[in-house]
Each structure stands twice: as structure tokens, then as C-alpha cells.
Amino acid sequence: MIQDFQGKTAVLTGAGSGFGLECARLGARLGMNLVLVDVQKAALDAAAEEMRAAGVKVLAQQVDVSNRQQMEVLAHSVQEQFGAPHLVFNNAGVGAGGLVWENSVADWEWVLGVNVWGVIHGLRLFMPMMLAAAKADPSYRGHMVNTASMAGLLTPPNMGIYNVSKHAVVSLSETLYQDLSLVTDQIGASVLCPYFVPTGINQSERNRPDNLAGGELTASQKIGQAMSDKAVSSGKVTAVDVAQKVFDAVKANQFYIYSHPQALGAVQVRMEDIVQGRNPTDPFLHKPELGASLRAALRGGN
């Protein structure tokens, strides 16, 4: 949808690391104005310094995306400094796992707050600005990208809280795409569904607020953390690769963005389960030894 990024404004949440940081770097190379948003002050400051050194205009704000007031202050600052943004990347996210009945209320509030409410706030605050800009200027082009996950298209066990949050982002993004198509041809939408990419999301606890502090990890949560650490750190596709896919998708007005298209076979099986009314297929069908070891660990070896 956006053919020329030069001089356009991008709002990027989770900009201090991972996909957000790499998209900021790519945006800087393309001459964009950058609004960098992150909850980690040190990472945000470093990113802002790097982007300013690249010669682009930068607005950096430390924001908890789950916080309505902080996001409203951010939106006001963007409007004042740059006007309506052209690219909004609702990307901030956290991860948590464990058996779905073992997650505490604080776990649910933290994960859904960042992963779902963060996207909702970005959507409700920036999309009206973008639509107003489109109405005022026929040459305006905008695009919103929301970061979900392959966990938004699948239901892997022992990570239900994360799955729920990412399924919500996929549904919200698909609906946004359909809603936009009713009212404008000038603004597009995409959903990013990465698989295992080394970004630091498996160490999300470092950013957990004190008021939503987690208790002692359960056995299933420890197992989930270990599996996540191994899977994420072994990823061969990099955040740099994914950032390029994001910009390519924005340019092509492509809705679904996949880091690992080869994982779509599992999505197809899930969809066939749904259409045919089958019980959900064993996710470890092709790796039975992994399923066996997880079952043994969760059953205490019994």
C-alpha cells in the first residue's frame, strides 16, 4: 500500500529489541520519521540514539502499551510532532506458558494486557488519525501491521495463555482488514505470524510490572519456559529477515506475513479438523518422541 517510505512516519511498539528494532533500522535506511515505543528504558534510549545517528527524526517514548493513559499521551505526541502516521506496527508482546488452568489472574492480565490491549490501543488511537488523513488527502497511504504469531493460527499445548492472546490478534486484524475495505482504499492492514525467531520474547519476564508479579513457577511453566528457550534460540530465520518481510508486505498490500511458510501444513491440518468436525490432531504426530517426553515430564514420570 505504501510505495515510497521516504519522509513517512512509522510508529513502532516494542522498538527496543527484536522485530521492532529491526523494522526501525530498516525504516531509518528508507528515510522515515520514527516513533519508537518500548517499556524498557535502556533499550529504548539505545535505539533512539542509533536512529538519530542515522540522520532521521525520532520521537522516543517509554510506554507500557497495556496502559490506556500512556498510549493516549503517545498518540497525542505523535499527532503534535508528525501528524497522522503512515505505518503503525503494533508489535510489543510478551510470552508465558504452562498448563492453561495453572495461570494466575496476574499472568492473564499481564499477557492479555500487552499482547491484546496493546494492539487494541494502537488500533483505536491511530486508525482514526489515519482515516482522517486519508479523507483530507487523496494521496495519503497508510498501513497497520499487528504482530500475532503462528500460535494465533495453531493451539500448541502448554502455552494456552499465549495462544489465546495471539488468536485474538489474528481475529482483530482480519476484522480490521475487512472493516477498512468497507470505508477506504487508502489504508491497508497486515498480521505478522512469526514462528520461532530469536527475538528475546522467551525472556519477557524481565519487563513484567511489579503489580502483576508472578508467583513461584509451576512444573508445567518451568517445562514451557525450557521448551520456549530451546525453540526460540534455535531459530534460523532472523529478526532482520522478518523486518524485510514486513516492509515487503506493506508495499505489496499483503495481509498474512509468515516467517516460516513451511509451518502452514499444521495450520491446514487444524482447519481440516474444524471443517470435518474431527477432534484436534495430536500436535506431536510427526515428533512422537517429543510428545512422549512432555507427557512424561508433566505426569511426573508416571
CATH label of the domain that carries residue 181: 3.40.50.720
- Check whether residue 255 and residue 302 sit in a common domain: no
Q: Note the pLDDT tens digit of each residue in 226-247.
A: 766 666 666 678 899 999 999 9
- 239 in a structural domain: yes
- 4 in a structural domain: no
SS3 content of the chain, % helix, strand, coil (to 5): 55, 15, 35
Distance, CA of 176 to CA of 191 (rounded, Å): 10
- Check whether residue 140 and residue 278 sit in a common domain: no
- Check whether residue 120 and residue 140 sit in a common domain: yes
- Check whether residue 244 and residue 141 sit in a common domain: yes
Q: Note the pLDDT tens digit of each residue in 207-220.
A: 666 666 666 788 77
So what's the pLDDT on residue 231? 61
- 8 A C-beta contact, residue 8 and residue 86: yes
Distance, CA of 37 to CA of 11 (rounded, Å): 8
Query: What is the tally of structural domains in the chain?
Result: 2
Nearest to 188 by CA among 245, 136, 131: 131
- Check whether residue 117 and residue 241 sit in a common domain: yes
- Check whether residue 246 and residue 298 sit in a common domain: no
So what's the pLDDT on residue 207? 61
pLDDT at 202 > cutoff 50: no
280's grid cell: 484436534
State the first-to-last Cα distance of the chain, in angstroms, to the nearest integer: 55
Q: Dihedral of the CA atoms 226, 232, 236, 237 (nearest 10)?
A: 170
- Sheet-wide strand order for 9-13: 58-62, 33-38, 9-13, 87-90, 142-147, 187-193, 256-258
- 3 in a structural domain: no
- How many separate helices (H) and strands (E) can be counted in the chain? 10, 7
- 237 in a structural domain: yes
Q: Note the pLDDT tens digit of each residue in 142-175.
A: 999 999 999 999 999 999 999 999 999 999 999 9
Region of residue 256 (left: phi > 0; alpha: psi -120 to 50; beta: else):
beta
Average pLDDT, the chain: 91
Q: Region 122-140: what's the mean pLDDT? A: 98
- Check whether residue 111 and residue 233 sit in a common domain: yes
Instruction: List the alpha helices (DSSP H) in the chain.
Output: 18-29, 41-53, 68-82, 105-112, 118-136, 160-183, 219-233, 239-252, 264-276, 288-298
- Check whether residue 197 and residue 268 sit in a common domain: no
Q: Find the domain containing 156 and state its range.
A: 9-259
User: How would you label 114-150 residue by residue, b for 16+ Cβ within 10 Å and e otherwise?
Assistant: bbbbbbbbbbebbbebbbebbeeeeebbbbbbbbbbb
- 1 in a structural domain: no
- 114 in a structural domain: yes
So what's the pLDDT on residue 69? 98
So what's the pLDDT on residue 302? 43
- Check whether residue 232 and residue 297 sit in a common domain: no
- 142 in a structural domain: yes
- Check whether residue 119 and residue 193 sit in a common domain: yes
Distance, CA of 38 to CA of 61 (rounded, Å): 7
- Check whether residue 152 and residue 182 sit in a common domain: yes
Nearest to 170 by CA among 187, 193, 142, 202: 193
- Check whether residue 241 and residue 150 sit in a common domain: yes
Q: Region 94-118: what's the mean pLDDT? A: 93
